[in-house]
Amino acid sequence: MLIVAAILFLAMYVLMTAIPSKRPFFVYGVVILYLILGILPLASVPGAINWNVLMMIAGTGIVVEYFIESQMPNRIADVLLSKAKNVMWVTIFMSLFAGVVSAFIDNVATVLMVAPVGLAICRKLKINPIPMILSIAVSSNLQGAATLVGDTTSILLGAYAGMTFNDFFWMLGRPGIFFAVELGALATVPIMMWIFRDQKDPVHSDEMTEVHDYFPTVMLVGVVVVLILASFIENKPDITNGLICVAFAIISMVRGRIVKGNWDLAKQAVQNMDYETLILLAGLFLVIQGITEAGVIDLAAKFIADAGGNNIFLLYTIIVWGSVLISAFVDNIPYVATMLPVISGITSVLGISPYLLYFGLLTGATLGGNMTPIGASANIAATGILKKEGYVVSFKDFARIGIPFTLAAVTAGYLYIWFVFRGA
């Protein structure tokens, strides 16, 4: 079944790349085949779906709908346009801003919060929003590895290795992985300057949009603050972040009903929810569970471990770049969960500290999702937002930004971690 599961997964991926408008059909076609063939046990279906992510997308989407209606994204767009020299620098500013936010909250939530500002800017400038929204998505994925609370993979590593929030900044008497990620972020700036080198049209904002209601902005900031605070709670339920986002959505709708005297905006927010992205993600979670059950991810982890042998540099290199390649196609959460005990066992046998390989794993697995449009939930959310606006993202569109961005960021982090932690 392992080979069958792998072939079906690869076929699904090829079809999704070739015909992106039909992605949900290909995903659920494979899900059905996995169920029929017994690759995906029916009993594992409810637990395979990451309800936390889906609830975060749904809840944050409603909060963002009120945020957009308040005109705050347009106001922020006006401020950014007044600070930037041209379109290229607006795009770079938006990417870096998304990265800063994503270092502290979930990548998907970051995209849902920042993308409306990017769309508002693109409407004002009358330019194609695809490059800016995709840059926001890949930048948010990059910064997820910067802190303990930035991404699920970071949380997994922290829990497994007993790391604290401060350990990401300073570990074993050395500057931690946070600085590797920030170095990677800096390395992407010249890449973006090259990618967007033709977007030199000057920008300006003659007047500032008036914001008629600041409560939605308070709600959006409140989501960020509460998500950060919740990240420090130990042994919390897996759906905590999702419940937080849904709670803020309910507060926004109830308050809107009180102020407006009707449920019109609430109905609009629910109707405008990106149901296709929610359905697509749910299906992908099931497919990933299927290849996990079939042993595909375990086989990939074993192959990486065996290929490195006893050569630490070779092992480190294979873990980083092998993780990039694998995470470009599969969810990095089950992969990282599988690899952590593998790395622990290898380093125990070799008699070395595991942190060099832990950080290499996190760097490669977190950034690898930026190689493809379905490599990370944030990318799927971003392409879903663009599709709602009438823009279909092709594999070529994404690769133009995602691949050079990933290579630059991973290379910088790869070199930094090796030179800083090789003797740890």
Q: What is the DSSP pairing of strand 170-171 with strand 174-175? A: antiparallel
d(CA 344, CA 160): 10
The model's pLDDT over 329-379, given as tens digits with 9 standing for 90+, comes to 776 776 787 778 778 777 777 777 889 999 999 999 888 888 888 778 788
Residue-wise DSSP of 143-187: HTTSSTTS-HHHHHHHHHHT--TGGGTEETTEE-HHHHHHHHHHH
pLDDT of residue 180: 92
Checking if the pLDDT of 124 tops 70, the result is yes
Q: What are phi and psi of 70, to 5 degrees?
A: -75, -10
**Tokens, residue 174:** 């050395």
CA neighbor of 272 nearest in space, from 20, 66, 23? 66
* Domain encompassing residue 20: 2-421
Q: Say if residues 233 and 240 touch (Cβ distance below 8 Å).
A: yes
CB 83 within 8 A of CB 132: no
How far apart (Å, rounded) are the C-alpha atoms in residues 162 and 93? 35
Asked if 413 and 363 touch (Cβ cutoff 8 Å), the reply is yes
Q: Are 77 and 104 in contact (CB under 8 A)?
A: no
List, for residues 59-81, the tens digit of each pLDDT value: 878 887 888 788 787 787 777 77
DSSP 79-142: HHHHH-SBHHHHHHHHHHHHHHHHTTS-HHHHHHHHHHHHHHHHHHHT--SHHHHHHHHHHHHH
User: Quick one: average pLDDT of 180-209?
Assistant: 85
Residue 138, pLDDT > 80, answer yes
**Residue that wins the pLDDT comparison between 148 and 268:** 268
Residues facing 174 on adjacent strands? 171
Domain count, the chain: 1
Nearest Cα to 226, choosing from 352, 394, 60? 60
| Distance from chain centroid for Cα 287 | 18
> For residue 91, what are its two tokens?
């795009």
Output Rg (C-alpha) for the chain, integer angstroms: 21
Rounded to a whole number of angstroms, the distance between the first and last alpha carbons of the chain is: 41
Asked if the model's pLDDT at residue 157 lies above 70, the reply is yes
**pTM score, two decimals?**
0.72
How many other CB atoms sit within 10 Å of the CB of residue 246? 18
The pLDDT tens digits of the residues spanning 230-289 come to: 877 877 887 888 899 899 999 999 998 998 888 988 988 888 787 877 888 788 889 888
Among residues 409, 401, 346, the alpha carbon closest in space to that of 379 is found at 401
β-bridge mates for residue 171, sequence order: 174
- Mean pLDDT for all residues in the chain: 84
In which element (H, E) is residue 60 found? helix 51-69
